[in-house]
Amino acid sequence: MATRFDPDKDSAPRLQSYDIPFPDESMVVLDGLNYIKAHVDGTLSYRWSCRMGICGSCGMMVNGTPKLTCNAFLRDYWPKPVIVEPLNNFPIIRDLVIDMEDFMHKLKSIKPWIIRKQEIPLGAGEHRQTTSQIDDFRQFSQCINCMLCYAACPVYGLNDEFLGPAAIALARRYNLDSRDQGLKERLPVIADSEGIWECSFVGECSVVCPKGVDPAKAIQQTKLDTTMRFLLPYGNREP
């Protein structure tokens, strides 16, 4: 079953049943949607691109759990019906397509790029990092912005002003990068009441992440670091 919703015709989303063949065990939910689109109903709308868990486009609710549909095997659900719905906690544009504008604004607000007070000239060579320095932020750099964590987060569901798991994890990724000097520019956003302090550590964001990023860890560690900066002498010194 898949959610159908046409904002010009429907007052609310509804579920529609489809029967699809299940010829081999490697078939994923996205293959099922593609079959429906190609052979049953060409009007079904959904996002997808790479089919290999990299682009983060095909995130949907599969039987109530946020999943990348390219990574959700039908064999894990068969013979029960598979219910595919748009990601929770986001407005629906059409069928299985959600509106990501809110996330895009939040992503931009944490300035997810390397910030330097003074750029190092290209002629100075590479800005080298040790493996230990890379290990500090590597995990958080694996985020593919699929927004499964936002769909799993009840805090975001209850308060969409919350900055949210992926944005905070990405802010931490840059704050931990030895090349970055933008912590003070990001702090007003991430340490705001709608930032890290809104999170009550449900932890489901980390459970559903398809790339093994641990946003709950990023948020709690940022809470600790921010508190230590406030409490310790010279805590606000320049990094």
Partner 1 sequence: MPAAWWTRKRHYLLYFVREFTALPMALWLLWFLVEIKRAGAGSAGYVPHSSTAFVIFSVICLLFALYHSVTFLSLAGVILHPKVMGRPVPPRLVVLAMFGQWAVASIVIGAVLIGFAR
Binding site for partner 1 (CB under 8 A): 64-65, 89, 132, 135, 154, 157-158, 200-204, 207, 214, 216-217, 220-221, 223-224
Minimum distance of partner 1 from residue 166's CB (angstroms): 17
Query: By C-beta, is 65 or 71 nearer to partner 1?
Result: 65
Note whether 26 and 40 are within 8 A (CB).
no
User: Which residues, listed in sequence order, are joined to residue 97 by a DSSP beta bridge?
Assistant: 94
44 or 176: CB nearest partner 1:
176
Q: How far is CA 204 from the centre of its chain?
A: 12
Question: Min. distance of Cβ 10 from partner 1 in angstroms?
Answer: 21
Angle between helices 165-175 and 183-190 (to 10 degrees): 160
Q: Contact at 8 Å (CB) between 66 and 152?
A: yes
Minimal distance in Å, beta carbon 130 to partner 1? 9
Q: How far is the CB of 44 from partner 1 (least distance, A)?
A: 26
Q: Are 62 and 29 in contact (CB under 8 A)?
A: yes
End-to-end CA distance of the chain: 52
> Of the two residues 44 and 61, which places its CB atom closer to partner 1 in the complex?
61
CB of 212 to partner 1, least distance (A): 14
By beta-carbon proximity to partner 1, the closer residue of 57 and 222 is 222
Q: With respect to partner 1, which residue has the nearer C-beta, 142 or 220? A: 220
Annotate 154-183 with DSSP letters as a single string. HHHHH-TTS--HHHHHHHHHHHT-TT---H
Task: For the CB of residue 138, give the shortest distance to partner 1 in the complex, in Å.
Answer: 12
User: Whole-angstrom Cα distance, residue 82 to residue 32?
Assistant: 10
Residues 6+ apart with CB under 8 A from 139: 212, 213, 214
Q: Of the two residues 17 and 130, which places its CB atom closer to partner 1 in the complex?
A: 130
